[in-house]
Structure 1
């Protein structure tokens, strides 16, 4: 980036077709990769004519002996240029010049590119480092569980070095045992990632009655944080949990659930209820909710509408797109449905495309999911809409049980009773070995709808 080039991070978990589309759309010219990705690149590169060079991030001793594609060795290139490094000059003359490129996960169509500028990256890093955001200091040791292709590891790729923090990179080793070992061996103070990683860590720790000796802050985003994670880490381990919400389009951090000074006196249940929300906007983000006519709704914690944001690191248009992504006043429609309470804490109730409309009223799939995962025999839960001749749509609950557990439909429905509105009660519960996820670790509602979208609940079968 300092040489005036644009760093485009690629997600290796994507399907090959998606990777080819993204590389071609971005017109990538150089790919830097781990040597383990040579087979993928061998299959991929014939479809990517703009790529001129492949650099493997290793030394000569670990270079593959034979490849069907031309590859260069990173360490050899570095050695060749080392005499010239003393004369290197920062080449960026304009802070609004492109610096980084990330693509959305493409859940509602083809992936879209979001170009980050030097200015937007710097402002976002400043916000991320603030005490009420991710609290990054020179004394911090950060385990970057969230990968850098997730919008620069939620900004930690810049905020960490900016503050002089130590970064610990886990690579592909994100099972509970490996994460615990990294946390303890490197004396990690701060970490961030999606809920599935922390569920694996908790399972490993609970079975072995382990303790965390140095960890102080866990930041969780990408999906709603289950109540069990908050209670276990905060009550049992004394580790603060903050939810984070954002999008590729917001660079990505927009809200963080840091408790306000006025909330310090809340009891345990009160604090947990606040932490189950996605948090409040940081200094550079404006936020509002609007109805379908665009009228702004009150911050009363009850009204829910389309969530819109704006700020200096929120996009105005997608990469290589002529159409504006934000309105004339800079408001970007996130596609999320949310409430905002009087304290400014936002809570996602659904994606606009996932909200269940039953009899003209909205049912929040996220609220049902959050309650369902509180059941001790439930590992993960997801809610989708199924057609209903009377109500148009009704909720179906898909459950992945904890290993070795066999809950029944009645067990789950009885647990939900009294915790959600009666008319929100799922029409049926189906059990699966595991719930499908997207390449970015989010629950794939699209896959679930394909699998279960025409499911007939018991009463409909009669």
Structure 2
């Protein structure tokens, strides 16, 4: 017997149709890199996306073809998201901050046909053109080319149709070990992710929301914000630059209620606010992801009345895996306990399942006791099964568990607490030390701007941690002072055997600390008692 409900394919273009129909007059603002501003509406975004669909068809672009972008956050970029999938193509957002060899590999591996880019990246485009073998058309977003290109069309067309399991978006991992890997999202998986993201514990969107996304649109599908925001009809405030003074001014002028970004964004914002006395009174919901947020950051925002959605996810999970949901007894908890809960990575929404397995034996599933750490695995309808063009599945076995590369504990109530990356965890004397917890404790020191912990070979203990520190401008601190400070935060045997001060810590193209490069930098380091 078949069900009696309508067969309504979950295709991404339905989101923009809904936004234009139900929230058509809702405003979107772009603040361009040159300081000028443009305002449009959701009806305008849909109209221009249809024009782009027509323009792509004239270029011979169709079902399954990859359309790449090399751009920051603005409404032209948003138009391209819907225009690319509207023609039946696959949107491929490229991180312009990647190294040349990665840019070359990604575009050629994806077999991109069209590239839309910002003028600030014109130098990158010119440098890479001879190396990109499949791109046939280049169109600049912000010098008049894009507007002229779609302006030649009337928008009187229809979206491409197809199966809800057709691909719609391609994002590549950061490639910290080997070449980047492509993650190919489906219309169905993207729609399920978008619908789920509207929950209060995740994006907490409704038609009153004003979202300023600091997370770039080229990073992990911008955490799904362009899809979820359209579904709720939010007002987007885009900025093509992430200068704290600009962001703070936009937040105040446009009465921003929601924002999303990595912890380093808030470090810059705090510095600007402390120096100028600026505040952000309208902000009520901050999504923080990309890396673990230190306690002092969460505490400061919560004291300002901001709800923190401390999120964990990855490109392979579309990317939302967990967020810092409030517990059933939240209103009865002391403030310090609430901060402790928000400092963890939170709980899964319906659609995501987690488990931890032994680091020494992956066939052993670990208890959810809040103590036993292991390798974190995940599965669900918006979790990867196989990387793009790979010859075998990434989700292993009939149960389709995907190994995230993270080390974590899961508490009895299902709350996830990340402790490290499997390749970064430090094993000393048969016990595991979390480099992440050491780093978060260190950056709470008033003189520390950034810190990274790595393991150094030791003849007796296998490995011992050292802490690499960048001091804040004008600040002074000794290694002993840092160790004494850490002694009040972590177990004594976790204390780093050495603290090394450097001018800068290496980062990947996506802005994360590159432990690989750091280990290379300190490969010949000798501990005093080793």
- TM range, normalised to the smaller chain? over 0.9
Q: CA deviation at 1:37?
A: 2.1
RMSD between superposed Cα atoms in Å: 1.3
Partner residue of 1:303 out of 360, 372, 377:
372
Q: Is the 8 A contact 1:278 1:346 kept in 2?
A: yes
Question: Does residue 374 of structure 1 match 2:444?
Answer: yes
Give me the whole-angstrom Cα distance separating, in 2, the residues matched to 1:264 and 1:436: 42
Match of 2:344 in 1: 277
Question: Does residue 204 of structure 1 match 2:272?
Answer: yes
Match of 1:35 in 2: 119
Give me the whole-angstrom Cα distance separating, in 2, the residues matched to 1:306 and 1:271: 26
Match of 2:472 in 1: 402
Match of 1:75 in 2: 147
Give me the whole-angstrom Cα distance separating, in 2, the residues matched to 1:276 and 1:35: 39
Question: Does residue 258 of structure 1 match 2:342?
Answer: no
Q: CA deviation at 1:48?
A: 1.4
Q: CA deviation at 1:445?
A: 0.9
Q: CA deviation at 1:118?
A: 0.6
Q: CA deviation at 1:378?
A: 1.4
1:114 is paired with a residue of what secondary structure?
A: strand
Match of 1:347 in 2: 417
Q: Is the 8 A contact 1:306 1:337 kept in 2?
A: yes
Runs of 4 or more, structure 1, over 4 Å off, are none
Partner residue of 2:353 out of 275, 278, 286:
286
Aligned residues: 443
Question: Does residue 413 of structure 1 match 2:477?
Answer: no
Give me the whole-angstrom Cα distance separating, in 1, the residues matched to 2:171 and 2:141: 20
Match of 1:68 in 2: none
Q: CA deviation at 1:175?
A: 2.7
Deviation digits for residues 364-395 of structure 1, max 9, x if unmatched?
A: 11111111112122122110011111111110
Higher relative CO (Cα under 8 Å, sequence separation at least 6) belongs to: 2
Deviation digits for residues 19-57 of structure 1, max 9, x if unmatched?
A: 010000000000011123222111111111211100111
Deviation digits for residues 191-220 of structure 1, max 9, x if unmatched?
A: 011111110001111222222121001111
Q: Which runs of 5+ in 1 are unaligned?
A: 64-72
Deviation digits for residues 387-434 of structure 1, max 9, x if unmatched?
A: 111111110111112221111111111111142111111000011223
Give me the whole-angstrom Cα distance separating, in 1, the residues matched to 2:322 and 2:141: 35
Q: CA deviation at 1:344?
A: 1.1
Partner residue of 2:454 out of 384, 387, 412:
384
Give me the whole-angstrom Cα distance separating, in 2, the residues matched to 1:233 and 1:276: 12
Q: TM-score, normalised by structure 1?
A: 0.93
Give me the whole-angstrom Cα distance separating, in 1, the residues matched to 2:524 and 2:417: 30
1:55 is paired with a residue of what secondary structure?
A: strand
Query: Which of 448-457 and 296-305 deviates more?
Result: 448-457
Q: Is the 8 A contact 1:32 1:56 kept in 2?
A: yes
Partner residue of 2:524 out of 449, 454, 460:
454
Question: Does residue 423 of structure 1 match 2:493?
Answer: yes
Partner residue of 1:8 out of 65, 76, 92:
92
Q: CA deviation at 1:458?
A: 3.6
Partner residue of 1:47 out of 131, 142, 151:
131
Q: CA deviation at 1:165?
A: 0.4
Question: Does residue 20 of structure 1 match 2:104?
Answer: yes
Give me the whole-angstrom Cα distance separating, in 1, the residues matched to 2:246 and 2:404: 35
Give me the whole-angstrom Cα distance separating, in 2, the residues matched to 1:176 and 1:437: 20
Give me the whole-angstrom Cα distance separating, in 2, the residues matched to 1:168 and 1:218: 14
Q: Is the 8 A contact 1:384 1:453 kept in 2?
A: no
Q: CA deviation at 1:190?
A: 0.5
Q: TM-score, normalised by structure 2?
A: 0.82
Partner residue of 1:144 out of 213, 216, 225:
213
Question: Does residue 323 of structure 1 match 2:405?
Answer: no
Query: Which of 100-109 and 321-330 deviates more?
Result: 321-330
Give me the whole-angstrom Cα distance separating, in 1, the residues matched to 2:259 and 2:242: 13
Match of 1:66 in 2: none
Q: Which runs of 5+ in 2 are unaligned?
A: 1-84
